[in-house]
Copies of this chain bind each other. A is one copy, B any other.
Amino acid sequence: MVIAVPVASMSETLRVIAPLVRPGALVLDVGSVKVEPARLMRELLPPHVDIVATHPLFGPQSARHGLRGLKIALCPIRGDSHRRVAAFLQIALGLKVIETTPDAHDRDAALSQGLTHLIAKVLVKMEPLPDLITTRSFDLLYEAMEMVRHDPPELFDAIERLNPYALEVRRRFFDLASALDADLH
C-alpha cells in the first residue's frame, strides 16, 4: 500500500488504514520529508506490517521525459521488504536508489530542497524577471524556479515546516545573506 497524501494529512490517513492492513502487508510512503512520516508509520501501523519510507527526488517537471536515471531516497523502517522495493525501483523503473535514514535524508533535504524552494518562491515574487540581459548562471537559476513554481503549496509547507532541520537552514541562509549585505555598505 502506497501512502501518497500530503505529509500534513498522513497521521489521519494512517489512523484510517491501520485497522485494515493485513499481516505481512507492505506500507510505503512518498513524502518529501522522512523523519515525521517514518515516526508516524512506526507508531500508528500494527507491528505485523513492513514499512518503507521513500522520497522520489523528482516531480512532474523533472520526470516529464521518463523516470530512467532519476533518483529516489529509500529508508528501511520495519521488516525486510525494502530489499524487493529497491530491486523493483532499480530494475523495473530504472531509478537510482539511495538507501539512507530518515534523519540523514531530512538533514540533506533541508539544504537541497529547502533552499531551492525558498529561493524559487522569492524569485517568483520578484517577477517580472529579465529575459534578454541574462547570464547562463541566471538562466539555470530561472530554470530551477520554473521546475518548482507549480508545486502545490502543501509541498512547500511540508519541506519548510515539517523537516526538523529546515528552520535552522533558513536561519543560516538569512544570517549569511545579511552579513554579506552588510559588508556591501
Contacts and interface: CB of A to CB of B under 8 A. Distances in A.
Interface of A: 55, 57-59, 61-62, 70-71, 73, 98, 100, 104-105, 108-109, 111-113, 115-116, 118-123, 125-126, 129-130, 132-138, 140-141, 143-145, 147-148, 160-161, 167, 169-170, 172-174, 176-178, 180-181, 184
Chain A binding surface, main DSSP class: helix
Q: How many monomers of this protein are in the complex?
A: 2
A135 B173 contact: no
A50 B6 CA distance: 62
B57 A118 contact: no
Contact of A176 (B126, B133, B177, B184): B126
Contact of A140 (B57, B108, B141): B141
Contacts of A176: 122, 125-126
Nearest to A171: B181
